[in-house]
Amino acid sequence: MPEKAKDYHRGSSRKAWQTSKLSSNGEFSNDPIVGSATTSTSKVVATTIPREGLDDDDAYPVLSLMTVARLVSNVVHEVNSPLGTAMSSSQTALRFLPPQFPPQLATCIERTISSVGHASDAVRSLVRFCCPDRSLLQAFDLRDVIRFTVLVAQSSESDKLCAIDLQLPPVPSVVLGNPIAIHMVIATLVWNAKESGASRVCVEIVPHADKYEICIVSNPLNNISLDTSPALTSPSEELWEDVHGMARQDWICQIVREHGGELAHVRRPDHTVDAYLRLPRDRQEVA
């Protein structure tokens, strides 16, 4: 077993590093611990991408999308709040307007209401633009999202105390959905694995016939006992601060569910925890 693998496993056999071990011949076998068989037909050479090898350009499409979505969410909130007050106040003013007031005043208020309505329509269009119907969701490469997530997770010096290794297949791992939302899910898992005291975290994509499995392996999760391990998927305050006011904990499951995926974790006897995010492949890619 490679030195790195020993760091993770302390002598136990672990899926992520089995993959690493098998990468020389490019074949997977059944995982004896988790018990989920990876398909032998999907031959993928798992490679560890060095941190230095990551280019900001790789993450640019996802970064720009994420920035736009966050910006829109906040702008919509900031615009809708005063619009709401203006609309309600104007309607109330119109209702309480005594008959002896000049008709021009009523016309002015009606014009205000109409303008607020137009502004509100514009905001709705913006929301529709950013959150299209599911049928219009885009196909994206999971690898880009994961690379971007790692870039964000290692953006400061203190973040680099915990090494993050990537094992990504050389071919695109295409799923259909919202890359920003998936980034938030993966980032949450990685963040919490890091913050739990792990010295290394491994993020790996394991392709299956009909889905991709994103494994987030961290060892050791020193601060997570069996009782507190739910924290593994509790969204990080730091990560979710700009969605203040929402029920953050519901979002992770909701996002995964909306993508037809599932989230699971395995607790090992050695107190290590693996998180698994499974997302269906894009049907066109399967076809």
Partner 1 sequence: MHDKKKLLAADDNPDNLQNFRDILEDEYSIVTTTNGLDTIHAAVLFRPDIILLDVTMPGVNGLETCKKLRSLRTLKSSHIILVSARAMPYEQKAGMCAGADVYVTKPFDEIELRSTIRRLLARTYAGSDVVQLATANRKACPGERTPEAVPL
CA dihedral 34, 38, 44, 50 (to 10 degrees): -20
User: Is the CB of 72 or the CB of 174 nearer to partner 1?
Assistant: 72
Q: Measured from the CB of residue 86, what is the shortest distance to partner 1 in angstroms?
A: 7
Q: How far is CA 240 from CA 20, 125, 164, 183, 249, in A?
A: 33, 25, 21, 12, 10
Q: Which stretch binds partner 1 (CB under 8 A): 46-54, 57-65, 217-225, 248-256?
A: 248-256
Minimum distance, C-beta of residue 154 to partner 1, in the bound complex (Å): 24
Q: Which amino acid is at 16?
A: A
249 forms part of the interface with partner 1 (CB under 8 A) = yes
Reading the block at residue 68, the tokens are 């736009």
Q: How many of the other CB atoms lie within 10 Å of CB of 86?
A: 16
Q: Choose one: 158-166, 196-204, 256-264, 278-286; the region binding partner 1 (CB under 8 A).
A: 256-264
> If 0-12 CB within 10 Å is exposed, 13-18 middle and 19+ buried, where does residue 70 land?
middle
257 contributes a contact to partner 1 by CB under 8 A: yes
Least Å from the CB of residue 88 to partner 1: 4
Is there binding between residue 86 and partner 1 (CB under 8 A)? yes
DSSP, res 39: P
Q: For the CA atoms of the chain, what is the radius of gyration?
A: 24
Strands 200-207 and 163-168: parallel
Report if residue 115 touches partner 1, rule: CB under 8 A.
no
257-261-266 Cα angle (round to 5): 110
Residue 262 C-beta: closest distance to partner 1, Å = 8
User: According to CB under 8 A, which one of 73, 112, 115, 236 is a site residue for partner 1?
Assistant: 73
CB neighbourhood size of 171 (10 A): 13
Binding-site string for partner 1 from residue 149 to residue 188, where x marks contact by CB under 8 A and - marks none = --------------------------------x-------
Interacting residue with partner 1 among 80, 112, 115, 199 (CB under 8 A): 80
Nearer of residues 12 and 115 to partner 1, judged by Cβ? 115
Longest dimension (CA), the chain: 90
Q: State yes or no: residue 125 binds partner 1 (CB under 8 A).
A: no
For the beta carbon of residue 200, count every other beta carbon within 10 angstroms. Answer: 17
* Positions in the binding site for partner 1 (CB under 8 A): 72-73, 76-81, 83-89, 91-92, 95-96, 116-117, 120, 123-124, 127, 130-131, 181, 230, 232-234, 244-247, 249-257, 263-265, 275
